[in-house]
Chain A
């Protein structure tokens, strides 16, 4: 990928816009350069560099619309994408839910680009793997990990004068360290925009320590326990729930946010009053693009849950108009308030409980109650009288994040994470939660 400048993307967007006589046109242009290194069994298994661009063109004649995408940017390809989109639009009937493309938006830049990340090379990646592997070998452990760095540009434009350009970078690192006999396993994850804040040794050492502490796990009967959930243990659980904050779904009666008899539960207290969640594209820890790529609407700081009450839901442009609401860009990050307490302090305040490092393979069982199932993994410990007493076997849980956020005893310090299976950038605290429902034991280490 040629790392296009703002001027170059503007020229391409303008060219696309000029190629069509449609009533409206939207352009989304992006390019990325993604490097990675993957290691396992204390050796590198794969590594690569992927470069690509993507152009999406959406045009409309009246209320008739069509979309085409392509990954080439020469003049012929631009024309081809426009003509394909136009062909689709001309043949389309009117969409009763059609919404015109947004008028000019104010995109206040967020700090998403860091040169140090963009400069990462194969040697840097190999060194990340080397730190994990060497320290694991010293401790007679086996490391498996994945490091990936991305440098990307995104440009959006439409025929109503909208134009946005921003570059962003990111680093994601996960490492699993296992004992040679497979009886212990530890894990750590780090996600940052600026590689200067990334320390492979620190993360690997956390995984190494957990692996060493997790051998000889004892079985604890399944049941309801007080749990200390590290931030990574709740990242996907919370992401599942926030995916359901769609106002239309709630208003139509098919969401946990639906109100009996019709409407939604905006303003109702559904969670413990310690729960405060917001989105903010400019938060320096989890900065995201200041617009929503899907709608081109500007993102805003928005309180989603305030003192346990539902404070905001996501409105599509169509549903917002129908319900007399103002549509804004959908959140790209989720931030949950915590405290300055370390996870160790949460443990110290726990009489009897379970410490969970990570949760795994989370799936929706019942959307009515947001009942999720999944398992603990890579470091599950029994806590007694404020101390970790011994490692325990992993559990399967069947629990709803709604119940979980109602049963909060204490919150810890928020940490930056990206979910395993969600697109949100997350900043969430460790939590101590009562009555977390473990339904069976797993022999997996």
Chain B
């Protein structure tokens, strides 16, 4: 939902254009040296001692070091190459039954002890407004453990020259394909997260993520028209090996209209296609509004799942904790308690899973020290569960947390964030081409576009990147000005089929915004190509002065 925070980081103090660094990765050897484990443990113990001495009944400490590298290119120029580093400590306590939180970049024993005492003072100030004390589901301390994103190639060891050349080559391919302008970016993230709590856990995690968005724009100055097509990659919780495009990871979209990607990504090929398709969009047929059967590719579906299932099943929203900003949820507790609320058609099975390899939310432990797992959210179309943290588990009768706690920085307080939420593949063997065979009047949508949903997650509107008419079982011409509107429950009950697991793949977001102050989380959503019957499509073409 929210891109501001992350983009602000990338543009910080970048007054003038930056240039590509054609050489080794900058200060790689320094970036690769983690903060000593014993130092982090000493800081955590210092904070916990200070907090308990000040009156805390519980304390957790997150020592974080966040390394990012951003490379942004425009046409044949590299605009920015930026290395950022941020380190600090966040301390959360419970005192008098209330939470308190303080964060500091002063990574000295005195600094973290002061932050811990500040957190306790805040908790005590709030305790008088507390109606019920915070109740944490038990977590058994795991002692000293570690977890790391399984990566083959660390982005920090890849020469910037190689990365910049890849992006420039992608831009060139897009312009050769027909784009007037190209932009490609590479976001590289390494989060070194250390968590300790008075439950007896000392968890060291080393997380890696990548995202490589591409934007192709075609302009026809004669008609004063411009159209764009964004890349079809997924942001991933993987190493740089994701960019080693492998033939076995390429999939033909229905009707062969474009190439799609699974375990690795061919940036140059997709950029070329983006340039070509952006140009095609300049002359695409404007859609006739009406009811259509929609065939949605996973590159599009991830966002629909995210907005219409991921957010409404966050338990903090359901309970009203997000009422002031992101909103509440139509998926209220009474619907879940009835055990018969038809969220979707019988074939709809949606799982939450923070253990899916390659996904953005894949970690060993959440930011409350809870080991991550997989569970059902919607089973055979029925709402069966939510997403919960330690302080919410008792509300839904569970004895342990789902492990859904996350903070986007050492300086942010952790709270409930969605895990990877994914639609299971169909049980019947079916390819996208086979799915389209019996669609009489439909639209095939590839890629995510504009997205908007109300504050209780009923009414939504989605766009896309590529739209193709489906007529009597065949993919037809390219369409434009397409957006579909529906109500979440009606939409999921209109689900008429999904392709099998051969077609299942993930999309995701680096910038899922939630909370106050707003934080950006990372999350992936998987599905196979899925069909929804009789959905309302509007025409978005407008003329202004």
Give A contacts to B, CB under 8 Å: 1, 26, 28, 34, 36-54, 56, 58, 60, 63-72, 80, 83-84, 87-101, 122-123, 125-126, 129-130, 133, 142, 144-146, 148, 174-176, 178, 182, 187, 252-254, 256, 258-262, 270, 293-296, 317-318, 360-371, 373-375, 377, 394, 396, 398, 400, 402-403, 406, 420-423, 439-445
Contact between chains at A1 and B125 (CB < 8 Å): no
User: Looking at B119, B125, B330, B411, which has the most chain A CB atoms within 10 Å of its CB?
Assistant: B125
CA of A70 to CA of B27, assembled, Å: 13
Contact with A along B119-156 (1 / 0, CB 8 A): 10111011011111000000000000000000000000
B:209-231 near A, CB below 8 Å: 217, 219-228
CB distance from A8 to the nearest CB of B (A): 16
B532 within 8 A of A: no
Q: A95-B17, A260-B221 are in contact. List 4 more A-B contacts (CB 8 A).
A: A70-B86, A369-B544, A400-B544, A444-B327
Contact between chains at B456 and A443 (CB < 8 Å): yes
B4 within 8 A of A: yes
Contact between chains at A375 and B452 (CB < 8 Å): yes
Measured between beta carbons, the chain B residues less than 8 angstroms from A100 are 16
Q: A294-B11, A375-B455, A442-B454 are in contact. Are A366 and B542 (CB under 8 A)?
A: yes
Contact between chains at B85 and A253 (CB < 8 Å): no
Measured between beta carbons, the chain A residues less than 8 angstroms from B451 are 363
Contact between chains at A51 and B105 (CB < 8 Å): yes
Q: A47-B100, A360-B454 are in contact. Are A254 and B217 (CB under 8 A)?
A: yes
Measured between beta carbons, the chain A residues less than 8 angstroms from B544 are 256, 270, 369-370, 400, 402-403
B421 within 8 A of A: no
CB distance from B319 to the nearest CB of A (A): 7
Other-chain contact of B454, A91, A295, A375 (Cβ < 8 Å):
A375
Other-chain contact of B12, A50, A69, A439 (Cβ < 8 Å):
A69
Contact between chains at B455 and A360 (CB < 8 Å): yes
CB distance from A309 to the nearest CB of B (A): 11
Contact between chains at B2 and A45 (CB < 8 Å): no
- B227 nearest CB neighbor, chain A only: A368
Measured between beta carbons, the chain B residues less than 8 angstroms from A41 are 131, 319-321
CB distance from B287 to the nearest CB of A (A): 13
Contact between chains at A43 and B456 (CB < 8 Å): no
Q: Which 3 A-B pairs have the closest CB atoms?
A: A56-B13, A92-B19, A91-B23
CA of A39 to CA of B129, assembled, Å: 10
Contact between chains at A294 and B13 (CB < 8 Å): yes
Other-chain contact of B85, A64, A71, A92, A256 (Cβ < 8 Å):
A71
CA of A270 to CA of B544, assembled, Å: 9
Contact between chains at B459 and A46 (CB < 8 Å): no
CA of A60 to CA of B15, assembled, Å: 12
Measured between beta carbons, the chain A residues less than 8 angstroms from B58 are none
Measured between beta carbons, the chain B residues less than 8 angstroms from A122 are 121-122, 125-126
- A137 nearest CB neighbor, chain B only: B131
CA of A293 to CA of B128, assembled, Å: 42
Measured between beta carbons, the chain A residues less than 8 angstroms from B454 are 360-361, 375, 377, 394, 396, 442-444
Contact between chains at A37 and B27 (CB < 8 Å): no
Contact with A along B227-242 (1 / 0, CB 8 A): 1100000000000000
B82 within 8 A of A: yes
CA of A397 to CA of B217, assembled, Å: 26
Measured between beta carbons, the chain A residues less than 8 angstroms from B415 are 46
CA of A101 to CA of B454, assembled, Å: 45
Other-chain contact of B18, A44, A66, A146, A396 (Cβ < 8 Å):
A66
Contact between chains at A48 and B321 (CB < 8 Å): no
Contact between chains at A258 and B13 (CB < 8 Å): no
Other-chain contact of A93, B22, B30, B82, B463 (Cβ < 8 Å):
B22
B336 within 8 A of A: no
CA of A58 to CA of B77, assembled, Å: 18
Q: A48-B102, A258-B226, A296-B15 are in contact. Are A88 and B324 (CB under 8 A)?
A: no
List 9 contacting pairs A-B, 8 Å CB cutoff, sorted by A: A41-B321, A71-B105, A88-B21, A92-B21, A93-B22, A122-B126, A261-B221, A366-B540, A368-B225
Contact with A along B502-545 (1 / 0, CB 8 A): 00000000000000110000000000000000000010111111
Contact between chains at A365 and B450 (CB < 8 Å): yes
Measured between beta carbons, the chain B residues less than 8 angstroms from A44 are 98-99, 126, 129-130
User: Looking at B118, B328, B543, which has the most chain A CB atoms within 10 Å of its CB?
Assistant: B328
Measured between beta carbons, the chain B residues less than 8 angstroms from A84 are 26-27, 30, 83
Contact between chains at A396 and B16 (CB < 8 Å): no
Contact between chains at B80 and A51 (CB < 8 Å): no
- A440 nearest CB neighbor, chain B only: B485
Count of A-B contacts judged by CB separation below 8 Å: 350
Other-chain contact of A67, B18, B132, B327, B516 (Cβ < 8 Å):
B18
B:330-357 near A, CB below 8 Å: 330
Q: Give the interface size class of chain B.
A: 35 or more
- A129 nearest CB neighbor, chain B only: B129
Measured between beta carbons, the chain B residues less than 8 angstroms from A373 are 450, 452, 461, 483
CB distance from A425 to the nearest CB of B (A): 15
CB distance from A417 to the nearest CB of B (A): 15
Contact between chains at A261 and B222 (CB < 8 Å): yes
CB distance from B511 to the nearest CB of A (A): 11
Contact between chains at A38 and B516 (CB < 8 Å): yes
Measured between beta carbons, the chain A residues less than 8 angstroms from B325 are 146, 174, 176, 420
Contact between chains at A253 and B100 (CB < 8 Å): no
Q: A254-B226, A260-B223, A398-B540 are in contact. Are A67 and B487 (CB under 8 A)?
A: no
Contact between chains at B21 and A368 (CB < 8 Å): no
Contact between chains at A36 and B455 (CB < 8 Å): no
CB distance from B411 to the nearest CB of A (A): 5
Contact between chains at B221 and A262 (CB < 8 Å): yes
Measured between beta carbons, the chain A residues less than 8 angstroms from B19 are 63-66, 89, 92-95, 98
Contact between chains at B459 and A375 (CB < 8 Å): yes
B466 within 8 A of A: no
CA of A420 to CA of B15, assembled, Å: 25
User: Looking at A90, A93, A394, which has the most chain B CB atoms within 10 Å of its CB?
Assistant: A93
CA of A146 to CA of B322, assembled, Å: 10
Q: A36-B516, A68-B83, A260-B221 are in contact. Are A49 and B456 (CB under 8 A)?
A: no
B:449-475 near A, CB below 8 Å: 450-459, 461, 463
Contact between chains at B77 and A95 (CB < 8 Å): yes
Contact between chains at B181 and A101 (CB < 8 Å): no
CB distance from B92 to the nearest CB of A (A): 8
B274 within 8 A of A: no
Other-chain contact of A99, B17, B102, B105, B118 (Cβ < 8 Å):
B17
Measured between beta carbons, the chain B residues less than 8 angstroms from A48 are 100-103, 119, 122, 413
B20 within 8 A of A: yes
CA of A63 to CA of B18, assembled, Å: 9
- A375 nearest CB neighbor, chain B only: B454
Other-chain contact of B21, A91, A148, A178, A361 (Cβ < 8 Å):
A91
Measured between beta carbons, the chain A residues less than 8 angstroms from B330 are 443-444
Other-chain contact of A98, B16, B106, B219, B228 (Cβ < 8 Å):
B16
Measured between beta carbons, the chain B residues less than 8 angstroms from A441 are 459
- A293 nearest CB neighbor, chain B only: B13
CB distance from A244 to the nearest CB of B (A): 12
B:401-450 near A, CB below 8 Å: 411-413, 415, 450
Contact between chains at A51 and B450 (CB < 8 Å): no
Measured between beta carbons, the chain A residues less than 8 angstroms from B516 are 36, 38, 146, 148, 174
Other-chain contact of A369, B2, B24, B77, B543 (Cβ < 8 Å):
B543
